[in-house]
């Protein structure tokens, strides 16, 4: 009997697990099913560039049905797991929830934005964790330029539309604010009605420094470089309130901002606490270096595996992350996914499993057009060369050649034709024009 392997979540870790299993499993050895409400893996490091119009949104996602040919794809969410009975509850995007029996389960549900109860954030801010958010941010910026251009110069509404706030000075936050600043600067060429000084960009960071993944020297360089480009970086500052876009900072500063992007941290999905899987103090599934789920005492939970952002995997390399666990990044998710597939195949065959031991290879970030940073140990690159390294690394890292070609093709197109500034925000109301002119039946006579 073929064993049933259920992969919960088809992002980085889940996609790579399934992809590798397709290569490793012999015919009839196991059936693999992947459940995810979205039909694609989103290549999250590209989100800031999608938001800045440098990458087409569709190019930054990888369709699972095209590339996972021997895996059953289910469009829906796993909403419950009873590992004691080896059943998962699947709630499909359409139709009734049902129970799915499995032999092996792989939990790779990633993470969501972690917010704090700051007034106005839940109602007014947006994250930078999904392709939908990145597209909405891009459309909002171009749409706001359009709206602001027709308002009187100096009006409060115009100033609000042209003010952008990003909360969180980690990698995602810094990449987001820098890409958006770079995008807005390039938009100014098409909107002569708006001046550079009217476009205000604020980065709010509670700590005294940004980007903990790079050295202090590199972080200081980024602050200086981005300040020169027109980003107002508030260090040692907390966001106190954002009600109706009225920003209040812990320093006493106030201003109005139409677009607030929240990037200050991530957390595992809360539904996991309702399952019978062992969960750590911060909501992660407790993992082990072999990527098997374990109890708090370290006993292996048979037939259960985890990887990526959702897992609390001990980092046994020579460069462990905070608390001794692997940090939530794609470097780990991809490599863990591949090893997880190997370990599942080995365990099905009664062979030994290997431990995950990956030494951090460094960090690379794009900080708007033609500038970036790269840091590996003490070695750092800044500016144009680092930006090229960022583009080459990520252009080649997105899974499948089909996607790599699309991304590089887009960049080449932009090099010759410039950034695409077209605003198709109206796609959010696609029926509006049809409905306006559509004939309706006359009301029946009395
Ligand atoms: C803006 C940004 C920039 C980044 N840049 C970098 C970078 O430069 N380098 C780097 O190494 N890392 C980077 N990261 C981090 C990296 O993208 C993540 O660590 C990585 O995506 C984690 O992979 P994952 O498989 O754990 O989760 P994800 O890739 O998020 O996948 C999780 C999947 O699970 C699905 N899912 C969720 N709940 C359920 C459920 N109940 N049932 C079924 N499916 C479910 C989701 O729909 C999703 O498809 C960045 C992240 C962001 C947000």
Nearest CA to ligand 1 atom 11: 330
Asked whether residue 257 falls in the same domain as residue 279, the answer is: no
pLDDT value, residue 428: 84
Residue 235 tokens read as 């260090």
Q: Which of 329, 338, 339, 367 to mutate to test the pocket of ligand 1 (most atoms within 8 A of CB)?
A: 329
> Do both 215 and 106 map to the same domain?
no
pTM (two decimals):
0.95
Q: What is the pLDDT of residue 362?
A: 87
Q: Does 106 share its domain with 18?
A: yes
Contact of 351 with 27, CB cutoff 8 Å: no
Residue 391: strand, helix, or coil: helix
Task: Please write the tens of the pLDDT for every residue from 62-112.
Answer: 999 999 999 999 999 999 999 999 999 999 999 999 999 999 999 999 999
List the structure tokens of 265: 């941290």
How does pLDDT run across 287-308, given as a tens digit for each residue?
999 999 999 999 999 999 999 9
How many angstroms does the Cα of residue 30 sit away from the middle of ligand 1?
Answer: 26
Number of domains comprising the chain: 2
Ligand 1 atom nearest the C-alpha of 329 is 19
Let me know if residue 109 belongs to a domain: yes
- Is 391 a pocket residue for ligand 1 (Cβ < 6 Å)? no
Residue 254 sits in the same domain as residue 304: no
Judge whether 353 lies within some domain: no
CA of 307 to the centre of ligand 1 (A): 11
- Give the residue whose CA is nearest to atom 50 of ligand 1: 45
CA–centroid distance, residue 301 to ligand 1 (Å): 24
CA of 334 to the centre of ligand 1 (A): 10
> Are residues 190 and 331 located together in one domain of the fold?
no
**Residue 434 resides in a domain:** no
**Same domain, residue pair 303 and 217:** no
C-beta of residue 247 within 8 angstroms of C-beta of residue 260: yes
Among 348, 377, 397, the domain boundary falls at 348
Please tell me whether residues 290 and 316 are part of one structural domain: yes
CATH of the domain at 255: 3.50.50.100
Contact 46, 73 (CB under 8 A): no
Provide the pLDDT for residue 112. 96
SS3 call for 359: coil
Q: Whose CA is nearest to atom 7 of ligand 1?
A: 45
Q: How far is the CA of 338 from the centre of ligand 1 (A)?
A: 15
What is the model's pLDDT at position 335?
96
Q: Average pLDDT per run of 10 along the chain, which is 446 residues long?
A: 95 98 95 98 97 96 96 98 98 97 98 95 96 96 96 96 97 97 96 97 97 93 97 98 97 98 96 96 96 96 97 89 87 96 96 92 93 93 96 96 96 93 87 94 85
442 occurs within a structural domain: no
Pocket test for ligand 1, best of 10, 11, 307 (most atoms within 8 A of CB): 11
pLDDT of residue 361: 82
Domain that holds residue 332: 3-113+266-348
247, 125: one domain = yes
165 with 239, same domain: the answer is yes
- From the number of C-beta atoms within 10 Å of its C-beta (0-12, 13-18, 19+), residue 130 rates as middle
What CATH number is attached to the domain comprising 74?
Answer: 3.50.50.60
Nearest residue (by CA) to ligand 1, atom 8, is: 45
Q: Is 120 helix (H, G, I), strand (E, B) or coil?
A: coil
Instruction: Report whether residue 284 contacts ligand 1, using a CB cutoff of 6 Å.
Output: no
pLDDT at 359: 83
Same domain, 309 and 396: no
Do 125 and 106 lie in one domain? The reply is: no
Please give the number of the atom of ligand 1 that sits closest to the Cα of 310: 26
Residues 309 and 233 in one domain: no
Residue 265: partners with Cβ closer than 8 Å, 6 or more residues away: 113, 114, 168, 170
């Amino acid at each position: 009997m073929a064993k049933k392997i259920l992969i919960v979540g088809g992002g980085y870790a889940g996609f790579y697990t399934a992809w590798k299993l397709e290569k490793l499993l012999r015919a009839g050895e196991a059936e693999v099913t992947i459940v995810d409400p979205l039909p694609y893996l989103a290549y999250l490091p590209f989100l800031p560039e999608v938001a800045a119009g440098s990458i087409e949104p569709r190019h930054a996602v990888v369709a699972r049905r095209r590339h996972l040919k021997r895996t059953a794809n289910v469009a829906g969410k796993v909403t419950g797991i009873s590992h004691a009975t080896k059943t998962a509850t699947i709630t499909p995007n359409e139709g009734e929830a049902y129970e799915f029996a499995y032999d092996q389960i792989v939990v790779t549900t990633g993470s969501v934005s972690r917010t704090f109860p700051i007034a106005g954030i839940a109602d007014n801010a947006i994250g930078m964790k999904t392709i939908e958010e990145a597209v909405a941010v891009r459309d909002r910026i171009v749409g706001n330029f359009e709206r602001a251009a027709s308002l009187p110069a100096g009006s409060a509404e115009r100033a609000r539309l042209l003010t952008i706030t990003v909360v969180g000075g980690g990698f995602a936050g810094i990449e987001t604010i820098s890409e958006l600043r770079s995008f807005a600067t390039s938009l100014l060429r098409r909107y002569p009605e708006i001046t550079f000084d009217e476009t205000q960009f604020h980065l709010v960071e509670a700590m005294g420094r940004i980007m903990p993944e790079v050295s202090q020297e590199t972080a200081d360089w980024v602050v200086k470089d981005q300040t020169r480009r027109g980003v107002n970086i508030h260090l040692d500052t907390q966001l106190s309130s954002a009600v109706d876009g009225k920003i209040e900072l812990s320093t006493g500063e106030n201003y109005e901002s139409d677009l607030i992007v929240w990037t200050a941290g991530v957390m595992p999905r809360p539904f996991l606490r309702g399952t019978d899987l062992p969960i750590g103090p911060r909501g992660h599934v407790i993992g082990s270096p072999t990527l098997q789920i374990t109890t708090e005492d370290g006993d292996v939970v048979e037939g259960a595996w985890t990887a990526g952002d959702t897992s609390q995997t001990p980092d046994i390399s020579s460069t462990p992350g905070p608390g001794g666990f692997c940090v939530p990044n794609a470097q780990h998710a991809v490599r863990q996914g591949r090893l997880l597939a190997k370990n599942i195949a080995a365990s099905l065959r009664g062979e030994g499993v290997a431990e995950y031991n990956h030494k951090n290879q460094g960090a690379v970030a794009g900080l708007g057009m033609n500038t970036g940073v790269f840091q590996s140990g003490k070695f750092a690159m800044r500016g144009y060369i680092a930006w090229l390294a960022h583009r080459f690394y990520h252009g080649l890292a997105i899974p499948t050649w089909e996607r790599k070609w699309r991304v590089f093709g887009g960049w080449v197109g932009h090099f010759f034709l410039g950034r695409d500034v077209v605003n198709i925000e109206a796609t959010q109301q696609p029926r509006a024009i049809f409905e306006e002119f559509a004939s309706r039946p006359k009301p029946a006579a009395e």
